[in-house]
Amino acid sequence: MTEIQKRLQTEVEKFQTVQKEYQKCVSVRQQLDAQLNENSLVKEELDRLADGDNVYKMIGPALVKQDLPEAKQNVQKRIDYISGEIKRQEGLIKDLDKKQDSHRETLSKLQQQFQQQQVKAAARS
Amino acid sequence: MASKSSQGQQINIDQLPIPQLNQLTQQLEQEIELFTTSLNQLKIAQTKFLESQECLNKISPDNDNKEILVPLTSSMYVPGHLTDVGKVLVDIGTGYYVEMEVPKGKDYFKRKMEYISKQIEKIQPVLAEKFKMKQGMENLLSVLDITLNVIGGKICVIIKFDWLKNMLQWTPLI
């Protein structure tokens, strides 16, 4: 019985670490999503501008003038990078999801075994 | 339990095992929290845009060259003169600022507010639906909880009874 208890405990610990990792991944993904959203809004706004309009970029506390095409390129690059990151995180999340499910299964099996043993032990004593 | 038969989704829920039900409720709660905070943030953003738009109304040719007090900190101001009422710098996000003429700036804020209104309209029905689902789940879970408690109580009684019988059998030996 103690062996099963030990196995249960290690399994629970493993499950919890996976769960934590999963939550981390999800929050990172949410952040990336927000960034992507903001960047695409900026891109949309930059696309509306005419060639002569002045664009400034905030670097530290100072505003530095930047060419419109350069700004557009920059934002597009960022969008591409963030989209790639999102795909990567999504893969990670899928993997972790599977891991969580398998852990959950083994956990419920162990729990059942444990309960059966307890009932048996109670009946025997 | 009578309320559940009306919708297809809720019939599905009945057949799930309890751990999964708990998991689903947790997920729903997280989703509801997320949507509520998003909704609040959207509303805050909208009021900010509205304020900016109202500020633009003050930057008109009538007020050209008038004296203003410029805030250096939240409690210290220096006097200044309003020059060039034709153009404003607008923060369009991620550190980019664009020089715009006043009407264009107003148009920008108007568009942004419309965008946010659309987002709010998207979120609100979803949130309402999640709330409904959560309520259904809670009803189901409370019913299950009561039945489980009753069953658990019976098992407990049987075990206790067996234990008592055994004790009575063994006492003469000690």
Q: Which CATH number applies to B17-169: 1.10.287.370, 2.40.50.460, 3.40.50.720, 3.40.640.10?
A: 1.10.287.370
User: Can you tell me the distance from the alpha carbon of A54 to that of B34, in angstroms, rounded to the nearest whole number?
Assistant: 37
What element of type H or E holds A34? helix A2-48
Yes or no, beta carbons of B92 and A41 under 8 Å apart: yes
pLDDT at B10: 46
Per-residue DSSP letter, A61: T
Q: Would the pLDDT of A84 be above 50?
A: yes
Contacts of B159 (CB under 8 A, 6+ apart): A119, A122
Average pLDDT over residues B29-47: 94
Q: Would the pLDDT of B153 be above 70?
A: no
User: Can you tell me the distance from the alpha carbon of B15 to that of B139, in angstroms, rounded to the nearest whole number?
Assistant: 15
Domain map of chain A by residue range?
2-124
- Residue numbers in A near B24 (CB within 8 A): none
Average pLDDT over residues B18-27: 82
* Structure-block tokens of residue B72: 């250096």
Please, which pLDDT band fits residue B158 given cuts at 50, 70 and 90? low
- Residue of chain A minimizing CA distance to B98: A55
- Residue numbers in A near B166 (CB within 8 A): 125
Please, which pLDDT band fits residue B159 given cuts at 50, 70 and 90? low
Q: What is the pLDDT of residues A29-68, one digit of tens each?
A: 999 999 999 999 999 999 999 888 899 999 999 999 999 9
CATH 1.10.287.370 assigned to domain A2-124? The reply is yes
Domain map of chain B by residue range?
17-169
Residue A85 distance to chain B (closest CA, Å): 18
Do B80 and B70 form a contact (C-beta atoms < 8 A)? yes
Please, which pLDDT band fits residue B9 given cuts at 50, 70 and 90? very low
Please, which pLDDT band fits residue B163 given cuts at 50, 70 and 90? low
pLDDT at B20: 78
Indicate if the alpha-carbon torsion angle B140, B19, A27, A84 is positive or negative: negative
pLDDT at B145: 73
* Structure-block tokens of residue B34: 């997320």
Q: Would the pLDDT of B19 be above 90?
A: no
Q: Helix B102-170 crosses helix A68-124 at what angle (to 10 degrees)?
A: 10
Interface of A with B (CB under 8 A): 38-39, 41-42, 45-46, 49, 53-59, 63, 71, 75, 78, 104, 108, 119, 122-123, 125
What element of type H or E holds A94? helix A68-124
Choose, out of A22, A42, A72, A79, the residue to mutate when testing the contact with B (most B CBs < 10 Å).
Answer: A42
Helix, strand and coil percent figures for chain B, each rounded to 5:
75, 15, 15
pLDDT at B144: 74
User: Can you tell me the distance from the alpha carbon of A102 to that of A46, in angstroms, rounded to the nearest whole number?
Assistant: 47
